[in-house]
Amino acid sequence: MPLINQRPSGPLIALSTDFIRVKEYFEAIVASSGDLICTTDIAGRVLYFSPGAETMLGMSAARAIGSPAHDFYVDGRAAAQGIMNLLRANPDGRVQNHEMRVKASGGRVLHVSMSASFLKDARGRVIGTLGIAKDITERVELERRLREMTVTDDLTGLYNQRHFHDRLREECARSRRQGDPLSMVVFDLDGFKQVNDKHGHLKGDDTLKAFAAAVSASVRHEVDLAFRYGGDEFILLLPGTTAVRGARVAKRVVAAAKPLAKLGVTASWGVAQLPASGDAAALVREADAAMFKMKSGKEGVRRRGTDLARAYASRSKNRRS
């Protein structure tokens, strides 16, 4: 064999061996990672699906490969397009710590932190994408619970007084901006003190929880906002709702809470609609005054100012001083 043919055989064999070793080393690293590692082609179809991805999503690589990547996103094509927009907007063609939701086996939804980048060939042409995702579901769920604890009333599960003031400002601003009506209903329980005095605080707590359940069952979830303001005072904020429709909601609540009448507990209520001026304090005062008017017309009912009325009266005094 000519010498010229013998010379390159050594380096070629070494190169091939090194390549295999690097490939095996890379595969060992990927296999040991619990993260989801995935590559796609230029059309967005899955080309590689790591063992960590199989474990995280509960799906085999054989099933995943060839599928559009957006099939795994909760928000589908919109989520995929959002990632592509971010990649194109970044000069480096990279995205770091992009939080999103992905689908897993058994109907589970996982929150992940995604880092992605373009894959390019030797000429610099984009030939696909690389995505690496960490499961952050536990962290997201913990943050959600902590947020709920700060805005939720421990006893009834409704929003609390602090959150009411925040959401009132937001909903009034939204109503002014969009030109939609906003109504507010104030409830005050009649006979509640007698239940506490006669049956004890545990029975009183059960009464408050029962009324809160009646409120929750009578409103549009994800739209209407229900609060326990304090004591036996409850408030509803009803976006996109006139005072007339707000009164219908209040009547539904009272009907749902009718079993409490056996304990001698009923509800006085008042409804108001945000005025054209967008004055949140005026909305509160009008709803509270309407509730007090109903309470004053009942026999044997203790007439007192509400915590809500006192809060806004003190605010008015502070603004004048």
Active site residues: 232
Spatial CB neighbours of 83, under 8 Å, sequence gap ≥ 6:
95, 98, 100, 114, 116, 129, 131
Grouping H, G, I as helix, E, B as strand and the rest as coil, residue 47 is strand
Distance CA(162)–CA(119), nearest Å, equals: 49
Exposed e or buried b per residue across 127-140, where buried means at least 16 C-beta atoms within 10 angstroms of its C-beta: ebbbbbbbbbbeeb
Q: Which of 235, 266, 265, 228 is nearest to 249 (CA)?
A: 235
Distance CA(78)–CA(70), nearest Å, equals: 8
Name the residue with tokens 């969009």.
178
Distance CA(244)–CA(284), nearest Å, equals: 16
